[in-house]
Chains A and B, each alone.
Chain A
Amino acid sequence: MKQLEEKIFKIIMICSAMIILGVLVYIIATVFYRGLPALTLDMITKLPGGGFYLGKEGGVLNAIVGSIYIIIGSLAISMFISVPLVMYINFYLPAKSVFSSLIRFSLDILFGIPSIVYGAFGFALMIFLGVRASLLGGILTVAMLIMPIMMRSFDEITRLLSRELPDALLSLGATKYEMVKVILRQLMPGLVTAILLAIGRGIGDAATVLFTAGYTDNIPNSLNQPAATLPLSIFFQLGSPVEEVQNRAYASAIILTVIILILSFSARYFSSKFSKNKI
């Protein structure tokens, strides 16, 4: 009886794990199956031509470049804030300080705020500042979204660092600031992991850029011009009644999925490298 129950539950558990794996494969397969026929070189090398949204020539280079611009800009901003913050809570504040718990708690909450709320807040902020939907707006809003992601994952990795290196540096007579500079070298693979995770989240999110970045068929060449993004490009093409345009939405979805897959696997690679270094 005991053994039977054991067996039944084990089978159920394996099934549920298999189903989850199956769903992942199903998602990726669906996107590829529908998108591959429409995925041409033009898709990634050309801007949308005239009549693109009626099924004529062109590609989504505008969205690819726009997404890259936005992610680079927001990364720069969020790194500028995340790296010092993580160093501060780990190496400047005492291990059991109330302040550092408060910061970590705020990060947890910022992390949980939905991207649509960041989008709405970002848009309100832009109205307040007199900025219209543009590359700059998108960068600022995406930066808000990925900042907590980066901080939390970098913090988690930094907490794993043993006290040996900081102690060694301090006993050489280094100041805290000099110490942190060396520690950052050691933490580089961890930082890369955090960055890749942040890029993955930032590049795929549509709700933040929906009102803040605008949309255009061109590549923006200044910060106050609107910028297209991949997720929005997929969304808009999907809304078209023309089948060819819809197919191109699936092709764009492949592009986005491949980018995410690459990011995810490289993040994994770097974090494994980090744990090897540590031991």
Chain B
Amino acid sequence: MISTNQFLAKSDHNSFIGMNEPIILKKLVTNQSIRIENLDVYIENQHILKDMNLTIPEKSITCIIGPSGCGKSTFLKTLNRMHDESPEVKISGKVFVDDENIYGPHVNVIDTRKKMGLLAQRPCPLPMSIFENVAYGPRIHGIKKRKAVNQTVIQYLQYVGLWDEVRDRVRTSATRLSIGQQQRLCLARGLAIEPEYILGDEATSALDPLSTKKIEELFVKLKEKYTIILVTHTLRQAKRIADHIIFMYLGKIIEAGPTEEFFNNPKKQLTRDYLSGSFS
């Protein structure tokens, strides 16, 4: 983490998010965790993300909204370097996480990914027991002592409210859980690697309303400790839980700002059109 002073010294010209004109996310920015500079992403020579510049404030929920195909998932993937797996994706620009450019020359991909807990659109339990699912991350990252592993697993299962539901069958296959339980399991699994950030790509779109509510409550609880970035498919969800909104359209950031302001007083015509539902 860097202090406010350091931050101001380093990037005083860049303490805002947006494209041409700076947009202030938090009225009083104390620290920034993710800072993106001149990010361009090309997939198979198509310009998918166009000159993105923004700062994502820490310990809060930032929701990314925008019509389908505008590049939300692509953007999220640039944050944990999942594009490394696809050679057809070309990335230029800088993504600073904890003030280190994760596309810099000496960065360890595994460490970067470990910093980012990802919650996918559909829960994808590993083909093993509930316990093993949560234990998997800590184990590959070097926690071998049984007691420590047990403790970690129980702690995070409790944290997502799953422990009481599954305590007598933690050794059974995770695929037998309901889909909402599976998604909470995936969240616990992601938290168990002790990330600093949580990324969610339409993480509730496959869930029923009750499970959605549980996950949303978890996000709100989690923002005490983590910086959360969510792609969301419904405006209502963004309204409910977001502290900040980023609106993307055709690979560009159109408008961004604190939730209240964004919804009550959008500055761009495009944003107003989108919010009024004239396109989606």
Contact = CB atoms under 8 A, between A and B. Distances in A.
A171 B127 contact: no
B140 A165 contact: no
Contacts, number: 62
Interface in B115-153: 116-118, 120, 122, 124, 126-128, 136-137, 140-141
B82 interface: yes
Nearest to A171: B118
B254 interface: no
Interface stretch (A22-30, A112-120, A173-181, A242-250): A173-181
B186 interface: yes
A172 B124 contact: no
Interface string A157-172: 0000000111111111
A70 to B, nearest CB: 32
Residue of A167, A169, A174, A186 with highest tally of chain B CB at under 10 A:
A174
A167 B136 contact: no
A95 to B, nearest CB: 8
B114 A182 contact: no
Contacts of B88: 94, 96
Interface string B180-200: 000000100110010000000
Q: Please tell me the size bucket of the interface on A.
A: 20 to 34
A203 to B, nearest CB: 30
A185 interface: yes
Nearest to A168: B124
Residue of B110, B126, B128 with highest tally of chain A CB at under 10 A:
B126
Given A170-B85, A172-B193, A165 B126 contact: yes
B113 interface: yes
A131 B88 CA distance: 49
A168 B120 contact: yes
Contact of A171 (B80, B126, B136, B175): B80
B203 to A, nearest CB: 12
B80 A172 contact: no
Given A173-B113, A175-B110, A164 B126 contact: no
Contacts of B137: 172-173
Given A182-B126, A185-B127, A172 B140 contact: yes
A44 B95 CA distance: 70
Contact of B113 (A164, A171, A178): A171
A94 B78 CA distance: 18
Interface in A168-209: 168-175, 178, 182, 185-186
B82 A167 contact: yes
B280 interface: no
A94 B128 contact: no
Interface in A251-279: 277
A173 B120 contact: no
A170 B113 contact: yes
Interface in B68-120: 80, 82, 85-88, 110-111, 113-114, 116-118, 120
A173 B140 contact: yes
Contacts of B186: 168
A10 to B, nearest CB: 43
Nearest to A172: B137
B248 to A, nearest CB: 21
B110 to A, nearest CB: 5
19 contacts: A165-B124, A165-B127, A167-B82, A167-B85, A167-B120, A168-B118, A168-B126, A170-B82, A171-B80, A171-B190, A172-B114, A172-B193, A173-B110, A173-B113, A173-B193, A175-B140, A178-B140, A182-B126, A182-B127
Closest 10 pairs (CB-CB, A-B):
A173-B114, A171-B118, A186-B127, A164-B124, A168-B124, A173-B113, A185-B127, A94-B87, A172-B137, A173-B110
Given A171-B116, A171-B118, 20 more contacts: A94-B87, A164-B124, A165-B127, A167-B85, A168-B120, A168-B124, A168-B186, A171-B80, A171-B82, A171-B117, A171-B120, A172-B113, A172-B136, A172-B190, A173-B111, A173-B140, A174-B110, A174-B140, A182-B126, A182-B127
